[in-house]
Structure 1
């Protein structure tokens, strides 16, 4: 842990007045992103959750009807293709230099075409009505659609990840945006589509309304997709990149070097990798197939929403008092504890089948868990941003796209494997597609409960180990940002006064690390 007094003492120890001023800058509330852009940032964050993604499994299982085992193999092939094209696309993005920036051309250019193509997903039940789960033309369409959207989605996901690290150079300004987005977008209604969809599913499944599921999914899926696309496009049009990229394009060797010596990103990736071995099913499926209601989950989570909002008030004082590492570890263990408790209570005397009791138990878990919501959202988002800044501090240049690809490569290989395992496990536990809600076998119901509570927590517990050795905390993090400030100012002065020949020379010096001087501390 690193509290305020420890940081202050460390800052005063053996540094010049100039260095002390640079360190003070790290703790200032500097704002580079104005009101208009902040509003656009909020709309973009809102759009990321304004969908019915929580019901994708129900759409594929009960409406489109794709066989579990075939879906698992389709996931393997499309995932393998995604891994192959990732490296090529990552290097392409990192070598991009345009007047609009490094990432914006991909984000703006792909937005409308991807929205139109994505709409085909919700039209599958209309293209292939009343067909079996193994109908070949439907499977071919599903495979082709996934392969194409994986490729286009790689461009946008890599570019988006890098873009979000460059809209402001100051870590406090970045934390402010993250906090505002996470706090306010819930009140803007980002969860409304999933809430409405849950209610509609209950009404249809209980024969209260006679609507067809495919029509409801089409209206909700396509409607939210178009609205989200408009907000996202608006953000990319009005925002801009503010972190300077290198003048010259980095080589493949330099990109690999930036990944290998980025200790923070390696630890984050290792934690994600170990956590990725978590085996589970969605809590939504437990509520639908065991407790018999999709909207119950929304109702029991409602009281905890206020806790989630209040929790953001704790983020700034906690970040000032405790290290990033301490908050990262504590939040992880705290969350796991409550889910283990739910699993234990539900496993006693078949409590998992008792609707009223489990609503109180899971509602209580949500209430306690939401006190850590603000820390979870802000710290987890900032970890990756800090790792990208570490890359610039360590090497003298940024490799957001290549790092993102390298980080996701192992995770995608694992994701392909684990996604197939989850699909095959559903078959093994006796899950039958298309049954009326609440009519699965008792053995299947217990496994659905276990795979949405205790099993994923226990199978992913190793993810906490790398968090104990995360290096960018307290004084070291502050000094890294102080050095980055001084370096960026120096490079900006040199670039502004350089002629074309000198500019090319500066570009080579950047890539060779000539501006990298770790004067304040050694790494």
Structure 2
């Protein structure tokens, strides 16, 4: 246990110098850099690739995404428990950063390879590879989230690193959403039949740099020993605190709201707006709005609101107003659609970063209540909640389209039921999830114990 508590540790500097600049950037660019660029490409283009390129029926695609993302959600708590109970000379969470980029590059590349299988063969192949990709994401996401409070105890430092990661995430999404057609087209223009494969390999290189850099610069200082016992003892200790349930629901709603708006964008422009030639331009508007949100607007909102909880509420209120306007008037003109979408993205994109503040709050709360460092468990609960939201989004969109009578490649020929479904999925559903999220944030328990938690952390030198 002594190795775990002191691995890589040096004398703790002043609290505003707890970690190096290199750690901050490697933490910010690990999950949010090359890995997020891969995730952005998959989120934006993989469903369309399955239905329109591989010619897999929408109902079968929905089944693939449901099974894969549901298992992805289930194995999150398992990974959190495993991470908290990992004992190596490098610490609890750091070892997972070594294997992360290797598996990530492998599975993300295999996703885009068409081996010429039959439809049934394609369904089985995509399911297996997508499950492998999801498990890899779980393997590195839980330790990456858990290691931040293990290395940094100062809330301002934590929020700054989260903000840096949000900015990197926005840049990755801007590139992935806006320029993927051009990048893949370039590779096809030089003789490669599938431009997604080299794109995944390039993203993998960036993932290697950031994850291995995070391994080399992280030092796990602020951890309590994990007592022996059953693997799910810590899970029970955490979940018995019903005060944290609103946070769990908020994580689900944040994942569903932005994911629903984002993942339907290609379908929306191609079939509802009937302008596939404007997909790149529209995705660019969303991505640039997200970039402005993370890099410019989020730090301002945090400064004005003082806390992540209040900033999260502000972002949701503004997003809902924009979504309602677009639901009724989005088709009036492309310029109007882009302007209001840009404003909505400026506020909605920051929610996925701001909910991470609730993770650190929950970790501090459990450490105060139970004297337990359950960083991995709580990170995994957040991951489980997020993946539940992802499951609803990824499989739900395809299921709704299938039920509404969606016809692949039928631009201008979709039934009215499909047209309504696309508009509702794009703007109506995110409005509803935003309202639920706002209600949940009001019940966050940490503010009540903020003084006691700060006193606890001051004794953790």
TM exceeding 0.5: yes
CA contact (8 A) 1:29 1:172 kept: no
1:229 offset after TM fit, Å? 3.5
Greater mean deviation of Cα atoms: 274-283 or 145-154:
274-283
8 Å CA contact 1:258–1:399 kept in 2: the answer is no
Query: Could you say which residue in structure 2 is the equivalent of 1:360?
Result: 336
| Total equivalences in the alignment | 436
Query: CA 1:296/1:81 → structure 2, altered by over 3 Å: closer, same or farther?
Result: closer
Of 266, 285, 294 in structure 1, the residue corresponding to residue 267 of structure 2 is 285
Is 2:34 the counterpart of 1:47? Answer: yes
Q: Deviations over 1:117-166 (max 9, x none)?
A: 4321121x2x127x5xxx22222222222344444443333323322332
Residue matched to 1:266: 245
Match of 2:397 in 1: 422
Flag structure 2 segments of 5+ consecutive residues without an equivalent. Answer: 1-13
> Larger radius of gyration, structure 1 or 2?
1
Q: Is the 8 A contact 2:97 2:214 kept in 1?
A: no
Counterpart position of 1:56: 46
How has the CA–CA distance of structure 1 residues 316 and 427 changed in structure 2, closer, same or farther, with 3 Å as cutoff? closer
Report the 3-state secondary structure (helix = DSSP H, G, I; strand = E; otherwise coil) of the residue aligned with 2:426. Answer: coil
Question: Per-residue displacement from partner, 1:438-475 (whole Å, max 9, x unpaired)?
Answer: 654555334323321123323663232221121223x7
Task: Identify if the C-alpha distance between structure 1 residues 159 and 300 changes in structure 2 by more than 3 Å, giving closer, same or farther.
Answer: closer
Report the aligned-residue RMSD.
3.5
- Alpha-carbon offset, residue 336 of structure 1: 1.0
Q: Is the 8 A contact 2:174 2:284 kept in 1?
A: no
- SS of 1:294's equivalent in the other structure is helix
The question of whether the paired residues in 2 share the 8 Å contact of 1:95 and 1:249 is answered with no
Task: Give me the whole-angstrom Cα distance separating, in 1, the residues matched to 2:397 and 2:173.
Answer: 28
Q: TM-score, normalised by structure 1?
A: 0.72
Shift of 1:32: 1.0
Counterpart secondary structure, 1:128: coil
CA 404–316 in structure 1, closer or farther in 2 if over 3 Å, else same: closer
Question: 1:318 — aligned with what?
Answer: 304
Match of residue 36 from structure 1: 22
* Alpha-carbon offset, residue 95 of structure 1: 1.4
Please tell me whether residue 468 in structure 1 is matched to residue 454 in structure 2.
no
1:345 aligns with 2:318: no
Q: Does 1:485 align with 2:461?
A: no
Which runs of 5 or more structure 1 residues have no equivalent in the other structure? 1-27, 347-351, 490-523
Match of 1:224 in 2: 203
Question: Is 1:163 paired with 2:155?
Answer: no
TM-score by length of 2: 0.81
**Secondary structure, in 3 states, of the residue corresponding to 2:419?**
helix
Supply the distance in 1 between the matched residues of 2:92 and 2:167 (Cα, whole angstroms): 29
Instruction: Say if 1:368 and 1:450 are closer, same or farther in 2 by CA, change over 3 A.
Output: closer
Query: What do residues 253-299 of structure 1 show as CA deviations (whole Å, max 9, x unaligned)?
Result: 64134312445532211233456776775123212333322112145
Q: Is the 8 A contact 1:288 1:438 kept in 2?
A: no
Check if 1:296 corresponds to 2:289: no
What's the counterpart of residue 498 of structure 1?
none
Aligned residues of 2:244 and 2:444 also touching (Cα < 8 A): no
Return closer, same or farther for 1:265/1:367 CA change in 2, 3 Å cut-off.
same
Matched, 1:255 2:238: no
Compared CA separation, residues 287 and 82, structure 1 to 2 (3 A):
closer
